Amino acid sequence: MAIHEIRVGNTEKDTRGQDVAQEAQRTIGIPGLEGVRTARVYRLEGVTEEGAQSLAETLLAEPIDQTYTLNQPLITDTPRIVEVAYKPGVMNPEAASIMKSAHDLGIDLAAADASTEYAFYGAVEQEQVDQVVNGLLVNKIVERVVYEKPETLIINFTFFD
């Protein structure tokens, strides 16, 4: 089954990105960091492209102050982008809400997931980005950095007999 990716970002004020940039300056002190921009990443498995488009427009993006892309990057003006997601098997309450809302809209999904992309701007080195990610953005017990698109969102558990 195909996995469609929807990325949603604010068109005006990115308060989450501003908070991350301010906290990074305050706690880590990265002089070249000029800003951080965020985007929510939604992955939907088992839905047509038309179904994913419909969910993007009716459920995931607010047309007044947000924009979205389907199956393409939203942030393209910096190479320093890091995606943070829950580890496989960790309950993601947003994914459960997406599944229920999609069902209520008559769109059946096999699985859904949600994560956040952080884009770093300014004269920052990868080591500094890693400091921010590891020090402020990732709770290593339940979260991870995403390096590649998953092949499936469906997790099968084996229970002991």
Tell which wins on pLDDT, 161 or 100.
100
What pLDDT score does 122 carry? 95
User: At 140, is the pLDDT very low, low, confident or very high (cuts 50, 70, 90)?
Assistant: very high
Q: Which contacts of 103-107 are long-range, i.e. CB under 8 A and separated by 24 or more positions? A: 105/54, 105/55, 105/58, 105/59, 107/47, 107/51, 107/54, 107/55
**Tens digit of pLDDT for each residue in 73-94?**
999 999 999 999 999 889 999 9
Mean pLDDT of all residues in 60-68: 95
36-52: average pLDDT: 96
| Tally of CA atoms within 13 A in the half-sphere of 113 that contains its CB | 25
pLDDT at residue 70 tops 80: yes
For the full predicted model, state whether its pTM sits above 0.85: yes
In the chain, alpha helices (H): 15-27, 49-55, 93-104, 126-132
Tokens of 27: 């706690």
